[in-house]
Chain A
Amino acid sequence: MAHRTKGGPGRREFMLGAAAAALAAPAVHAQGAVVLRYVGTAVNQHAGIKDKVKQDLGITIEYVPVTSDDVVRRAVTQPNSFDILDSEYWMLKKIIPSGNLVGMDARRIKLVDEITPVFTKGEIAGRRIGDQGTAPKKVMYLPARDGKTFSATPTQWLTLIPTVYNADTLGIRPDKINRPITSWSELLNPEFKGKASILNIPSIGIMDAAMVVEATGQHKYADKGNMTRAEIDLTMRVLTEAKRAGQFRAFWKDFNESVNLMASGETVIQSMWSPAVTKVRSMGVPCIYQPLKEGYRAWAGGLGIPKTLSGRKLDATYDFINWFLSGWAGAFLNRQGYYAAVLSTAKANMQPYEWDFWMEGKPAAQDIKAPDGTVMEKAGAIRDGGSYEARMGAVACWNAVMDENDYMVRKWNEFIAA
């Protein structure tokens, strides 16, 4: 019960809408050190970055960890409650029309031209990559500072400055499967009955299912990230049949759940996030982040600023964002298996053997260590999926919000009840 009332304040404020926005004046600017309230999911809120910012810029970052659902809810209903929004690109389709985020001035972002073309053009090393779903390039630019729609062509106003992104695929337990896995279709292979899992986040779960449907040749989607009602019905029918047949052991919703399912042997194949696979491996349990021939489902996150920001806080936010792209943070994130938005500065902040392992797909010349000193990968190991270009180049689709989102959510609830 307590969990349900949690949404109360948000909902109330939501209804009061404009009135609340007008009443709540921005916090009084205290003289002295600037404190920036940073709302985002806990996964990206590293103490290491916070400490380094304090040291380099004298800015205090105050992390406000919320779930990814709450990131959207906060941005739409409580734009006064943060100074920096750490959002994912797909969320923008919900947030931007609310007018609560404003475009960032490209002229104030020093390394704006260095941002990887994955975001600006949707290509990598000159090759176009999959753009189904909410690909970042589709929601990267606004026509004006306070635009509520997206611009298809690059402009001076950026929605988010990318911080981290990655290509997601299935995690498997090679010791329990004992044969090569090469296709998404294996997720619903009856051979793994009762030992598979997917995310219980409707918009992501349905895309993983769509990868399976396409892999088994049942249907070819025009856009997996923006299905028609008929396509949603078809995809959910495939999922429902699998669920009724007992294919899934459980669904997971957060990082630790996915680690526990895999490490405890409850599942042997499931959709997963890269650091979760690393975590399972560091527990001494064999686990592979399996590249699949149909490609990856990618996601990307970035930093945005609310319309309420002004004065010193706005300046500090730009300073922070410029700092974020200047290399230290990029190297920090690359070392965790994510990718940074500006690669040149990240490279300068990494040891050559680290860069070779994480970005070039070469065997580790020496042990790869986590920031706390524990060994993540032994010398000689190769990153699953290989190099940056091999992994990001094989992206098939991006996490998305569909036009038929309402319908999809209803169908998902129906699926859970089936």
Chain B
Amino acid sequence: MSSSPPEAAASTGRAALLQAAPLALVLAGFFVLPLLATAVVSFWDYTEYSLVPAVTLRNYREMFEGCLTFGPDWPCTTVRTYLSTLKFCLLVWGFTLVIGFTVAYFLAFHLRSDTTRTALFLLCTAPFLTSNVIRMISWIPLLGREGAVNRSLIALKITDQPLDWLLFSDFSVVLAFVHLYTLFVTVPVFNSLMRIDRRLIEAARDAGASGWQILWHVIIPLARPGIVIGSIFVIVLVMGDFVTIGVMGGQQIASVGKVIQVQMSYLQFPAAAAQAVVLLALVLLIIVALTRAVDIRREL
């Protein structure tokens, strides 16, 4: 049975659709639908024990209550919470980029042997064999008031009072984040660096460029896709986090995730949904801005 060309085209079209269908269905069922549901519920009303499916702006109004009146209480809770989360984002992003890039650079350019490179790369991933909660919690006995660091500092006579800011502070939160997420920058950057044509570097050197100039004008621009991907990982993870901020901040530092968690625990699902929608919108905006800086799809 032979079919004429238009029929063949139609059947390959159908086949392609069929082939894409399973993934599309899974995504529709487990990603798009819940997301839509969240958006819809964010406009619902609620009581102590039930959802009221009536369209209301209550959740958004309560979320931004006081945000537009610039009185002595400004910034309002929501703005304050986002500012705090964004501050952690920027700090963690900065540190993980510098450290992650340095490690990736060392692995990609300083090591001559592939075996050493693979071995050291695997070594970088070794901490990931334990749970990230455990890696985070293990800082607590180290940094505590009577912890190892404070005891050493006192023994070395560097300080006579234990330093309280080591734990349950902005410092400990950033430290734990950097510790947890640097690898998420290292890996994509390393990948980008390994793809750089070494002859470009030789050419730059032949043309008289210094080491810094090569780094700045050749390597970093070519590593841009890795840097952007790593940045997206780190920013998304920090924006949505509430466990690390909670544990390392002694539950005294606000985060959007924590607000959502508290609301969920009091069955205020619509309020939590509204928070989630705003958070999602903000993170999407950041990702759009980042992908504007580099066309990931083309560069991969």
| A-to-B contact residues, CB < 8 Å | 1, 3-4, 7-8, 11-12, 14-15, 17, 67, 69-70, 72-73, 76, 93-95, 97-98, 194, 200, 202, 243, 248-253, 260, 264-266, 401, 405-406, 409-410, 412-414, 416-418
A77 to B: closest C-beta gap in Å: 8
B260 within 8 A of A: yes
Q: Which residues of A contact B236 (CB under 8 A)?
A: 1
A12 engages B262 (CB within 8 Å): no
| B-to-A contact residues, CB < 8 Å | 34, 37-38, 41, 48-51, 62, 65, 77, 80-81, 84, 140-141, 144-147, 164, 167-168, 236-237, 240-243, 246, 250-254, 257-269, 272, 276
A413 engages B51 (CB within 8 Å): no
A334 to B: closest C-beta gap in Å: 30
B81 engages A93 (CB within 8 Å): no
Interface residue from B37, B49, B146 paired with A94 (Cβ < 8 Å): B49
A406 engages B259 (CB within 8 Å): no
CA distance A1 to B234 in the complex (A): 12
B48 engages A405 (CB within 8 Å): yes
B266 engages A76 (CB within 8 Å): no
CA distance A265 to B263 in the complex (A): 32
CA distance A414 to B65 in the complex (A): 11
Q: Which residues of B contact A405 (CB under 8 A)?
A: 48, 266
B242 engages A76 (CB within 8 Å): no
Q: Say yes or no: A202-B262 contact (C-beta < 8 A), given A194-B164, A249-B250, A417-B80.
A: yes
A98 engages B264 (CB within 8 Å): no
Interface residue from B50, B237, B258, B269 paired with A416 (Cβ < 8 Å): B258
B267 engages A72 (CB within 8 Å): yes
B48 engages A401 (CB within 8 Å): yes
Contact sample, A vs B, 12 pairs, CB 8 Å cutoff: A4-B257, A67-B265, A69-B265, A72-B267, A98-B49, A250-B168, A250-B251, A265-B144, A266-B167, A410-B62, A410-B65, A413-B81
Q: Say yes or no: A409-B263 contact (C-beta < 8 A), given A4-B257, A401-B48, A417-B81.
A: yes
B215 to A: closest C-beta gap in Å: 33
Interface residue from A8, A97, A200 paired with B34 (Cβ < 8 Å): A8
B269 engages A14 (CB within 8 Å): yes
A15 engages B37 (CB within 8 Å): yes
CA distance A243 to B267 in the complex (A): 27
A133 to B: closest C-beta gap in Å: 16
Interface residue from B34, B48, B65, B141 paired with A12 (Cβ < 8 Å): B34
Q: Say yes or no: A264-B254 contact (C-beta < 8 A), given A1-B237, A14-B269.
A: no
B259 engages A413 (CB within 8 Å): yes
B49 engages A251 (CB within 8 Å): no
Using CB atoms, name the residue of chain B closest to A407: B62
Q: Which residues of A contact B38 (CB under 8 A)?
A: 11
